[in-house]
Amino acid sequence: EADIYQTPRYLVIGTGKKITLECSQTMGHDKMYWYQQDPGMELHLIHYSYGVNSTEKGDLSSESTVSRIRTEHFPLTLESARPSHTSQYLCASSESPERGDGYTFGSGTRLTVV
Amino acid sequence: KQEVTQIPAALSVPEGENLVLNCSFTDSAIYNLQWFRQDPGKGLTSLLLIQSSQREQTSGRLNASLDKSSGRSTLYIAASQPGDSATYLCAAPLTGANNLFFGTGTRLTVIP
């Protein structure tokens, strides 16, 4: 079944650790996105990609980095986690928004940095 | 930049009631408008997608309308159930933009 998967679902990690949040989609979508959402707050775009080897920063400044080596895979990395990085991270993909295609979201990763 | 507003911010209704959630946006140059549902601590589930050329879309007990000229969309939920309790978000991507602009959401509680 075509879908978008995020792992881990929950992560509690100590300050200073390096972490990678995984996002994979089986729909063959070129465009992928990472959003950050604090509890009860709006979603903010932190990274996006329009295809392999293409990555851009979003509207909200983030210390995380992303890579897009394969179409289906768009991991997000924090080199040194801090308590301020505690949040929910949501991955999304879309085939062609300019043609009216909608976005599909993953289940999210809830990150807690202690 | 697109500004998306959702009213009301929170809504509590008894089971069985019909209800309307409102979404307004400032820039009508949109590709489409998408309604999502978000359960606490979870990801977003797409409910309905209305193309910019369409006026409405229906799925089961849900009906969404779009009026681009006035910058408004409504989500109508018929015969509400406790399982409908969640936060409902609307999102409108601007043509030429790389982002999906979200509203602040309406938190719906359906009381059994």
Contact between A103 and B46 under an 8 Å Cβ cutoff? The reply is yes
**How close B15 comes to chain A (CA, Å)?**
24
> Taking CB atoms and an 8 Å cutoff, what residues of chain A touch B59?
none
**How close B44 comes to chain A (CA, Å)?**
6
> Taking CB atoms and an 8 Å cutoff, what residues of chain B touch A24?
none
Could you tell me the two tokens for A84?
Answer: 């301020």
Question: Does the CB of B44 have a partner CB in chain A at under 8 Å?
Answer: yes
- Cα(A4)–Cα(A31) distance, rounded to whole angstroms? 12
The 10s digit of each residue's pLDDT in B43-54 is: 999 999 999 899
Please tell me the predicted confidence (pLDDT) of residue A96.
86
CA distances from A6 to A26, A93, B60, B96 (A): 12, 12, 28, 28
The 10s digit of each residue's pLDDT in A52-99 is: 999 999 888 889 999 999 999 999 999 999 999 999 999 999 998 888
Please tell me the predicted confidence (pLDDT) of residue A41.
86
* pLDDT bucket at A2, cuts 50 / 70 / 90: low
Question: Does the CB of B95 have a partner CB in chain A at under 8 Å?
Answer: yes
Which of B98, B101, B106, B107 should be substituted to probe chain A, the one whose Cβ sees the most A Cβ atoms within 10 Å?
B98
**Nearest CA to A65 among A51, A50, A55?**
A55
> Are B46 and A103 an interchain contact pair (Cβ–Cβ within 8 Å)?
yes
> Are A106 and B43 an interchain contact pair (Cβ–Cβ within 8 Å)?
yes
Question: Does the CB of B29 have a partner CB in chain A at under 8 Å?
Answer: no
> Taking CB atoms and an 8 Å cutoff, what residues of chain A touch B49?
100, 102
DSSP character for B104? Answer: -
- Cα(A90)–Cα(B46) distance, rounded to whole angstroms? 14
Q: Has residue B100 got a pLDDT over 70?
A: yes
The 10s digit of each residue's pLDDT in B70-86 is: 999 999 999 999 999 99
Q: What is the largest CA-CA distance in chain A?
A: 43
> CB-CB: which of A42, A43, A97 is closest to B31?
A97
